Amino acid sequence: MIRRSRSEEQNMLTRSDNYDRALLAEIYDQTMTHAEDVALLRSLIGDAGSLDILECFSGTGRIMLPLLADGHNVTGIEIAQAMVDRSRNKAEPLGLAHKFNVWVRDALSEPWGEENYDVVVLGSNSLFELATVRAQKRCIELACQALRPSGHLFVDNNNWTSPLRESLGASWVALEGLGTDGTFARQTAETISVDESNGLTVTRRRWYLRTPAGEESWEEYDTSKRPVSGAEVRSWLTEFGFTIERVCGDFRGTAFDEQSERAIFWARKI
């Protein structure tokens, strides 16, 4: 089994995982195939013509590529080169390579633009990828700065309302699949500690590989995430001057309440 160095593990504790490896990106892409959130986002955008859209944490293009196919101009921000490579490879057979534009960088390292965009997308639990309130709020602030006046922000996360201690000891299979080279990969996860004061969980991830020749290897490392509630996101949107036009509790567009599984906001920059 491979263990990461102390410096590597400290770096991992600033986010929920390191997606910058080709096989993980491939298995992630096989696993994350749902499109209900894309359908909801399309309905919120409506018949607005071609828009300039920014998607932060664009991953393997699950949200970005359908929006490109709809005729929008979409810019992505993604820190993991392997994820960007995966999304670029998917764009080519769709005839979208000429429109493909992703900045490979830490989303918090630079501004996202200055009143350039009609829509900013923070989808698919992207705020959970960040391990501090400061970083999560900074994403809302950067989105505000990047939007033109009356532009819209789409924010989609699970609505976390349970005490964090209830997640302690929980374990699950996060990713599992077969790579194109025949390598089997499985990532399991277990919550090993919680910090209620900061709303932080530490997850131990185990990455198992088995090659076509039967060779096995293990890697184990700890990562962090900070689940957010709809109430928190609402307060940040209000703080940065957004008008909340709609809040959905699921991808069907059901009205949000405090017990909703998700908190999906469509908010307009004033």
pLDDT at 15: 56
Task: Report pTM.
Answer: 0.92
Distance CA 102, CA 79 (A): 10
Orientation of helix 133-146 relative to helix 230-239, angle to 10°: 50
pLDDT at 62 over 60: yes
Predicted confidence (pLDDT) per residue in 15-50, tens digit? 567 889 999 999 999 999 999 999 999 999 999 899
Q: Does residue 122 share a domain with residue 254?
A: yes
Q: Does residue 96 share a domain with residue 58?
A: yes
Predicted confidence (pLDDT) per residue in 235-259, tens digit? 999 999 999 999 999 999 999 999 9
Asked whether residue 137 is domain-assigned, the answer is yes
CATH number at residue 234: 3.40.50.150
* Cβ-Cβ contacts under 8 Å for 237 (sequence gap 6 or more): 140, 153, 155, 244, 265, 267
Orientation of helix 22-31 relative to helix 81-91, angle to 10°: 60
pLDDT at 11 over 50: no
User: Environment class of residue 88 by beta-carbon count within 10 Å: exposed (0-12), middle (13-18) or buried (19+)?
Assistant: middle
Asked whether residue 23 is domain-assigned, the answer is no
pLDDT at 18: 81
Asked whether residue 20 is domain-assigned, the answer is no
Helices (H) and strands (E) in the chain, counts: 7, 12
Asked whether residue 196 is domain-assigned, the answer is yes
pLDDT at 5: 41
Instruction: Output the six-digit token pair for 155.
Output: 């924010």
H or E element, residue 136: helix 133-146
Asked if residue 76 lies in contact with residue 101, where contact means CB atoms within 8 angstroms, the answer is: yes
Asked whether residue 21 is domain-assigned, the answer is no
Q: Does residue 175 share a domain with residue 138?
A: no
Predicted confidence (pLDDT) per residue in 177-188, tens digit? 999 999 999 999
Q: Does residue 217 share a domain with residue 239?
A: no
pLDDT at 7: 40
Q: Does residue 93 share a domain with residue 142?
A: yes
pLDDT at 173: 97
Q: Does residue 41 share a domain with residue 124?
A: yes
Asked whether residue 247 is domain-assigned, the answer is yes
Q: Does residue 219 share a domain with residue 94?
A: no
Domain count, the chain: 2
Query: Can you tell me whether residue 116 is helix, strand or coil?
Result: coil
Query: Can you tell me whether residue 80 is helix, strand or coil?
Result: coil
Q: Does residue 110 share a domain with residue 236?
A: yes
Asked whether residue 25 is domain-assigned, the answer is no
Q: Does residue 217 share a domain with residue 233?
A: no
Distance CA 236, CA 233 (A): 5
Predicted confidence (pLDDT) per residue in 113-170, tens digit? 998 999 999 999 999 989 899 999 999 999 999 999 999 999 999 999 999 999 999 9
Asked if residue 203 lies in contact with residue 16, where contact means CB atoms within 8 angstroms, the answer is: yes
Q: Does residue 76 share a domain with residue 8?
A: no
Q: Does residue 119 share a domain with residue 102?
A: yes
Predicted confidence (pLDDT) per residue in 78-113, tens digit? 999 999 999 999 999 999 999 999 999 999 988 999
Q: Does residue 69 share a domain with residue 137?
A: yes
Instruction: Compute the half-sphere exposure of residue 78: CA atoms within 13 Å on the CB side of its CA.
Output: 28
Distance CA 203, CA 164 (A): 12
Q: From the CB of residue 261, how many other CB atoms can be counted at a distance below 10 Å?
A: 11
pLDDT at 10 over 50: no
Predicted confidence (pLDDT) per residue in 168-220, tens digit? 999 999 999 999 999 999 999 999 999 999 999 999 999 999 999 999 999 99
Asked whether residue 104 is domain-assigned, the answer is yes
Which residue, among 158, 145, 160, 162, has the nearest Cα to 241 in the 3D structure?
Answer: 145
CATH number at residue 184: 3.30.1300
* Domain of residue 81, residue span: 32-160+227-269
Characterise 250 by phi-psi region: left (phi > 0), alpha (psi -120 to 50), beta (else). beta
pLDDT at 14: 54
H or E element, residue 154: strand 147-158
